[in-house]
Each structure stands twice: as structure tokens, then as C-alpha cells.
Amino acid sequence: MTEPRIRVAAYVIRHHDVPQLLVFDHVGMPQAGTQIPAGGVGPDEGLEEAVLREVAEETGLLTATVVRHIVVEDKPHPDTGQPRRTSFFHLQVPADTPDEWEHDVHGDGQDAGLAFACRFLALPLQRPLADNQDAWLDRIDLRWGTNSAADQPPSNFKFPNRP
């Protein structure tokens, strides 16, 4: 059996007039869908370090701080079917973080050189994110769940620090 690719994903929340989630779209690639910052963990990198790096690489934000680890999800890649194990984190940024901006992706990952249009969306979301990345928002606040059957937790998830 193939070992899963170890990944992190970030629910970056800004508390403005209402709570808002940081998302991005690939500039010129609408088929990629609206996403949250996420990506692989390096061989000698901790999960919290990786999630902060991914947020910085994909959005340019350096002011995000980790609030807590939410859940570990085992789910295959939607296109390749390869196994993935993703640790989702709740992060926060200051209320005065800009509403929207475009960022050229840096780093040595697959997204290097792409441009991402970043923005905040009010919670709860009106539409699901790509690859059901919004499935765990209700673990931060029950009111933020999408209430879609497609977004219900898979049977193979694990909560951190629970047997």
C-alpha cells in the first residue's frame, strides 16, 4: 500500500464585521475552484511550521497565527486518487488584513509561479469550496457548517488528541 502524502490546510479567519474565511482562486484557471491555503509538509518540518509556510507562500500573509489543530483527514487526491493525509488548522489574522489582493506564489512547490486572487468570504459560506475543503469549518464554529450532504465528514477522519 502506498503511504499517504502528508499535507496541511489552513482555515484562516479574520474577525471583521462578521467572521470571514481567507480563500483564493487561481488567476486564469477557474476550473481549479475556490480553495484555502494547503500543501505538502517537508521531511523535517512540523505541521504548524508547514501550515504557516503554506499560508505565506500561497497568499503572502505573514501575520497569521495558529489557533489550533482541528482534524486529520484521510482522503485521496480528487484527480489522481493518490492517498493524502491532511491536517486542518484554524488560524487567525488581524481584522485590518486587506479585503482582497493578488499574490504571485513563491517557494518550490507545484504552485510556484502561479498567481492567486486572495479574498475573504463571510461565514457561513454560500457555496462549497473545491474538493470539499470547507467540510471541517463547523469544527471551529457549528454555525459555519455548509449543511451539504457532500460535505459531511468522511468515516475515516481522526480528531487530534482523541483516541
Query: Mean per-residue pLDDT for 81-88?
Result: 95
Quote the domain boundaries for residue 88.
Answer: 5-158
In a domain, 31, yes or no: yes
The 10 Å Cβ neighbour count of residue 61 is: 22
Nearest to 120 by CA among 98, 140, 96: 98
Question: What is the count of structural domains for the chain?
Answer: 1
Q: Which residues lie closer than 8 Å to 36 by C-beta, 6 or more apart?
A: 9, 10, 11, 12, 21, 22, 23, 24, 129, 133, 134
| CATH label of the domain that carries residue 89 | 3.90.79.10
Q: What is the pLDDT of residues 3-23, one digit of tens each?
A: 999 999 999 999 988 999 999
In a domain, 122, yes or no: yes
In a domain, 108, yes or no: yes
In a domain, 163, yes or no: no
Confidence of residue 140 (pLDDT cuts 50, 70, 90): very high
Q: Please state, in angstroms and rounded to a whole number, the distance separating the CA atoms of residues 57 and 61.
A: 8
Residue ranges with strand state E in the chain: 5-15, 19-26, 38-40, 65-74, 84-93, 100-104, 115-122, 157-158
In a domain, 25, yes or no: yes
Residue 37 has pLDDT above 80, yes or no: yes
Supply 41's cell numbers: 509538509
Q: What is the pLDDT of residues 85-120, one digit of tens each?
A: 999 999 999 999 999 999 999 777 778 889 999 999
